[in-house]
Structure 1
């Protein structure tokens, strides 16, 4: 009987003692047992290293790497990946945890679908509630990070990539997915396999509450788009700024020129990425719907008729027959 392929799970951590044990347990207790867990301790000053060494002592699938200086997430990811021996690779965070069948389910999906990268939905845990996050299809990657926090990819995806860009702290994962989009096949597994914890100490939360980090996030998003568009027949700087607006504040794209250019960008990218006509159309509709949702979120007085007016004004370059589509989009909003 052929042996199941090895899966490398990389767990970068910095001062993660609070939830670290639960994260480790969720890796080691997987129904898919042929794994290696590579913990990259990024110079923690709490009991993180002590916790890691406790698991190292009792499970030979665990390896611990200690950074002598704090190198931040993208560098720690590269350090872990460079030590990985698995056919497939994933990485997780010290404050999140897997469903026990997550790795087995993703390995089965990657083999069945003959894909390079598989990603799954997740459960978002906050102080007051749990919310299932159902991710969008891969072609939406150019406007947001729709890959989420639960994924698995062939080792070759990393080996043949530009690695995690260590100059793009806070968006290193999004940049990695964008660059991979040009070469590799993605598959969305419509199952909840992961639990993502939202709390005040999380890296994601810090982007929202720390103005300096928020500015760095926006800056690095634009740099990542510049890298992406550098191989397209488009004005790199202009489209990087336009898609950064789409990523950060979609409702701010209102002028006829911007809408026209956005549609052109969608067309060029769709052709370059070999998207089907169906996927290209669905992608554009997702962009419009996202604009409307955010428009309504910042103005509670916006109703069905003002949404319809917004679409007629800003998407007038569409043909008349799309009125049915506009109406459908307005009704679809919650």
Structure 2
């Protein structure tokens, strides 16, 4: 009959440094291999019954692993600032000053780069790059489509605005990465409500299409009829990103009923799924071009 794993009261519901727990006699190395404990990073463990979020992993890394000169950055910083979230098992993204010798370490994605005074603040005691510096970093480190989506998520909650980003760009003019940052902020739109919608909009604009309006509200006689993800209102062409309907069939039917109301007003509504985005974006792009061209031609 197997023995119940040891669960010292001092460690229940906590994240802890394994070396310290062993030195105090609370656990042995063999105890750490049992189902009672979950390894987060090298020498950093948690009670296996504790719900682990990305925030938890960020705090654990900062508390037990960071030497001076380290800060949460990139996607992880976006999440801590309230923007797009990261999964509980995603690597924690970190920026490290060149003088701070740190890494590599499993579970951390480490970037070596200096930061200026005032570009690192604290959130719940965790060192995190400021919102503007975070946007600068994701624009340099990621593809522009993904970078804009993350910046959109921060803009949507009011964490940063175009004015602040433009002002920060002025301080970075001529530096490596400034052109990528300028392109990213030129494409941002705080109206975007999800990462896929942002990615779709940016890909359409970069393909040469006119910039669409996000979350456009369609009215009839001054009354609300529907809201669409992307639209060219003057042409009455709209796009809906179908992302979650397969998880919620009732929502899918409500959305379709909502969109059917605008067909009588001569709207063209195109639909795209994540699968189509991945596997046949060129085909979808051709359909959008055709719809816009059709509506642009003079009518007899």
TM-score normalised to structure 2 length = 0.29
RCO higher in structure (CA 8 A, sep ≥6): 1
Of Structure 1 and Structure 2, which has the larger fraction of its residues in strand? 2
Which entry has the higher C-alpha Rg, 1 or 2?
Answer: 2
